[in-house]
Amino acid sequence: MAFSRCSCWRSNSMPRGRNHCEARVLACCCGIAACSLCCKCCPKIKQSTSTRFMYALYFMLVTIICCVMMSTTVANEMKTHIPFYKQMCKSIQAGEMCEKLVGYSAVYKVCFGMACFFFLFFLFTIKINSSKSCRAYIHNGFWLIKLILLAAMCSGAFFIPDQDTFLNAWRYVGATGGFLFIAIQLILLVEFTHKWNKNWTAGAKHKQMWNGLLALVTLMLYSIAVAALVLMALFYTHSEGCMYNKVLIGVHGGLCLFVSLVAISPCVQNRQPHSGLLQSGVISCYVMYLTFSALSSKPPETILDENNRNITICVPEFSQDLHRDENLVTGLGTTILFGCILYSCLTSTTRASSEALRGIYGTPESEVARCCFCCMPEGDADAEEHVEKRGGQSVIYDEKKGTVYSYAYFHFVFFLASLYVMMTVTHWFQSWKRHFWVTPVFPG
């Protein structure tokens, strides 16, 4: 970890080798030093990006714990292989078989703690404009203390009294926050494809290869969206029912077509020259995922066949009683979520990029087309403000002149992401009376 400007870490006779690395780890965990790797061969990292990665790491850690809590396989393996499992559960007052630590209610409580953690930092970092303020130092450092605070908040949620009232009220908060984060994801996807299209279009002025790649990717995106639409129409509709599914698929398919036409309309092209089918293709794929999420969360319908026997419709036959589609929704949702988080961490942390993340686009800049267009080119003068090399990975202190992104906005997005994870991992269901009894809430 690179050393901060704090005087207690500015000794000229710093230890070398292993001791030097341990000192830097201590400075990162308990001080205001920026976090980085001990390996010198690693590329340079900006302080603002390092901070985002650490918060994202905490977020992913809690998300993985939530996925484990929802896994019946993990629960059964723990019962089988952990000695004195029953006695341990009773000693920590988690129920006879630790049922309070698994299932929907456990995920709700853990995500409540994580949401409170990020909401607390959202309030704490409002109107921070200088990275040299005390609040900015806390935002960028003291990672061990933050980890302890996060663990305490997630654990403390299990001791909230009147669990049934809390879970029922928190479900509505989670659904509202989840819907808001879907809108945030759309903004991230639009900003991502805007930058993507702008970069490759600039390359097409010199090499036609970039035009070909742009057309190929756009064709692939639309192929995926159309294939998803057809498959959902085949597996989630029936000639004698499933009216809700038919309406949902038809409306979403029509909206995707409408967005595609708007993206290439002359009025949009005049105001946004870099708009095109790439953006609408990405949005169409995302809308198909949301449609699939809604259809898989909806309970199946039952009708009588010609032999007066009950048959289940509106769900794929291969998924009946297996919930494979729900697991696929969780996997896709978590992958998209992590992709958005990693993009926000990896993208350039200049003020222009931070404003673009909030929908404020600056004037066009000279672009050099490259496949990994999210990464900052070596000659980015905006980030090369100050580089400290004290062994290990070099850290660029890119916030000496002021913050390059909104700390409060960053934490608020993670607050909404915590609620979205809660709803996605639990398939948009609520806890009901017992830890594994559920009632659906449709995300479509």
DSSP 409-428: HHHHHHHHHHHHHHHHHTTT
What H or E segment, with its residue span, contains residue 141?
none
Task: In whole angstroms, give the CA distance from residue 31 to residue 378.
Answer: 29
Instruction: Using DSSP, state whether 229 is helix, strand or coil.
Output: helix
What whole-number distance in Å separates Cα of residue 49 and Cα of residue 35? 10
Over 50: is that where the pLDDT of 6 sits? no
Residue 315 confidence (pLDDT) above 70 = yes
Which two structure tokens, joined as six digits, stand for 370?
């490259």
**Which residues share a beta bridge with 302?**
312
* Token pair of 262 as six digits: 């708007």
Confirm if 242 and 249 have CB atoms less than 8 A apart. no
Q: Is 187 exposed, middle or buried (0-12, 13-18, 19+ CB in 10 A)?
A: middle
Looking at residue 405, what is its pLDDT? 84
Those residues with Cβ within 8 angstroms of residue 253's Cβ, 6 or more apart along the chain or in another chain: 229
Does the pLDDT of residue 381 top 90, yes or no? no
Is it the case that residue 8 has pLDDT exceeding 60? Answer: no
Buried b or exposed e, range 294-316, using 16+ CB within 10 angstroms: bbbbbebbeeeeeeeeeeebbbb
Distance from C-alpha of 324 to C-alpha of 310, rounded to nearest angstrom: 22
Long-range contacts (CB closer than 8 Å, 24 or more residues apart) made by 75-80: 75/102
State phi, psi for 384 to the nearest 5 degrees.
-80, 55
Crossing angle (nearest 10°) for helices 243-263 and 277-297:
170
Torsion of Cα atoms, 55 then 350 then 401 then 8, to 10°:
30
Asked whether residue 176 carries a pLDDT value surpassing 70, the answer given is: yes
Q: What is the mean pLDDT of the chain?
A: 77
Average the pLDDT over each of 70-74, 228-232, 253-257 and give the range with the smallest value.
70-74
| 0.85 exceeded by pTM | no
pLDDT band at 112 (very low <50, low <70, confident <90, very high): very high
Query: Residue 262: phi, psi to the nearest 5?
Result: -65, -40
Question: According to the model, what pLDDT value does residue 41 have?
Answer: 65
Beta-sheet pairing, 387-388 with 310-313: unpaired
Angle between helices 47-69 and 104-124 (to 10 degrees): 160
Length of the chain: 444
Can you tell me the distance from the alpha carbon of 370 to that of 135, in angstroms, rounded to the nearest whole number? Answer: 37
- Taking the C-alpha atoms of 81, 85, 88 and 92 in order, what is their torsion angle to the nearest 10 degrees? 100
Query: Is the confidence at residue 440, as pLDDT, over 50?
Result: no
* The pLDDT value given to residue 327: 67
The span from the first CA to the last CA of the chain, in angstroms, equals: 44
Given pLDDT bands bounded at 50, 70 and 90, which one contains residue 88? confident
**Residue 270 · residue 320 · CB < 8 Å:** no
Nearest 5 degrees, angle CA 12-CA 52-CA 36? 30
